[in-house]
């Protein structure tokens, strides 16, 4: 079942996210503990000594790592995080995606319809590289109704980018003004319902 959590304020969303962070930490920690036990046993095996006869302290190969991770089962579910929004004053939608840690997210912007937004969200959350030790994360979709400014840490990244550095002083000032005025708001009930319907189509 696909569900989009709706929060009135960013503060409410942050409280919800904190609980999920603790859950993710416990899930990942249990998997790492199991993996370390497997690695210790394997390093003492004749097979490891045969493959790594020249360097018994060397790292595992990619194939060995995949074998060690095979069959790992988390104690619970690890979640990824998708914040959905529309851009105030512009006919565009966007989302942020974070795997495990909601405070380390990537921005995906400028989708001109809920349908294209849903498609891009589905493509991102199903990428194999987002798996943790071979385990798929369960995406948690949410939206925050309170208009949010462009994050300061992301704004700083813009300032340090090569594109920004290449701008004239006048262009930089204009860019700063646009970032200052920029706001993201949560999806409306109608938009949320439409996104869920489109997202489900990609899941089937």
**pTM score of the predicted model:** 0.79
Regarding beta strands 93-99 and 106-111, do their DSSP bridges make them parallel or antiparallel, or are they unpaired?
antiparallel
With both helix axes pointing from N to C terminus, report the angle between 152-160 and 169-181 in degrees, rounded to the nearest 10: 160
Residue ranges of domains in the chain: 4-10+78-203
* CA dihedral of 159, 162, 165, 170, whole degrees rounded to 10: -90
* pLDDT digit string, tens, across residues 35-85: 889 999 998 898 888 888 777 787 888 888 878 888 777 777 788 999 999
DSSP calls for 134-151: TB--EEEEEEE-S-EEPP
Cα 134 to its chain centre, rounded Å, is 16
User: Both ends of the chain: CA-CA distance in Å?
Assistant: 11
* pLDDT digit string, tens, across residues 150-173: 888 888 888 999 899 999 999 999
């Amino acid at each position: 079942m696909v569900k989009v959590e709706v929060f009135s304020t960013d503060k409410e969303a942050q409280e919800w996210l904190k609980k999920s962070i603790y859950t993710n930490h416990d899930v990942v920690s249990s998997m790492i503990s199991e993996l370390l036990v497997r690695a210790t046993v394997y390093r003492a095996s004749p097979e490891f000594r045969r493959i790594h006869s020249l360097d018994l302290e060397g790292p595992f190969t990619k194939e060995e790592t995949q074998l060690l991770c095979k069959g790992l089962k988390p104690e619970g579910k690890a979640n990824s995080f998708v914040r959905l929004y529309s851009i105030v004053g512009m006919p565009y939608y966007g989302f942020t995606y974070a795997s495990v840690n909601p405070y380390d997210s990537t921005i995906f912007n400028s989708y001109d319809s809920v349908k294209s937004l849903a498609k891009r969200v589905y493509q991102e959350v199903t990428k194999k590289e987002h798996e943790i030790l071979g385990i798929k994360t369960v995406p948690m979709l949410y939206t925050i109704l309170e208009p949010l400014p462009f994050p300061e840490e992301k704004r700083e990244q813009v300032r340090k980018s090569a594109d920004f550095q290449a701008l004239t002083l006048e262009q930089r000032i204009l860019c700063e003004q646009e970032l200052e005025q920029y706001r993201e708001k949560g999806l409306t009930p109608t938009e949320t319902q439409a996104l869920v319907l489109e997202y489900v189509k990609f899941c089937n």
